[in-house]
Amino acid sequence: MPSMKRRRERGAVAVEFALVVPFLLLIVVGIVEFSRIYNVQITLNQAAREASRSMAIADDTTTAQNQAITAAPGLSPALSASNVAITPASGSCTNGAEANATVTYTLTTLTGFFGQSVTLTGKGAMRCGG
């Protein structure tokens, strides 16, 4: 009799495993996708911070956009100047004013778990003239 009981338990374990595995895989996929999105969000915030810092110091929109692009080297496709919005315009970042940078990026997801793509925005602000 003990051998029959063990066979039944083995079958029950297989059924339980088959029922639990989809949920575990769903959790793992969600963690991977969320981690990637969060990593890109942090990168965009850093790029926006670098752009606003550069604008506050150099008072040049093109230089600030280039700083944002170089601050986010790991993005694929890479950032372009059209992804980076800087205010105020060149020549008008006076002492005490605020230089703002907004970096927008559309990330294609790996699994489609959160949709086919996610639009992320990073923002940075610095006082002009230090």
Identify which has the larger pLDDT, 85 or 9.
85
Summary mean pLDDT of the chain: 90
pLDDT of residue 13: 84
Cβ-proximal residues to 96 (8 Å cutoff; 6+ apart), any chain = 127, 128, 129
- How many domains does the chain fold into? 1
pLDDT at 1 over 60: no
CA-wise closest residue to 72 among 39, 100, 111, 36: 39
Rg of the chain on CA atoms, in Å: 24
Structural domain including 9 reads 2-127
Structure confidence by residue, pLDDT tens digits, 54-100: 999 999 999 999 999 999 998 989 999 999 999 998 888 889 899 99
Per-residue model confidence as pLDDT tens digits over 97-130: 999 999 999 999 998 877 899 999 999 999 998 6
| Six-digit token string for 10 | 């083995």
Considering the chain, what percentage of its residues have pLDDT values greater than 70?
Answer: 92
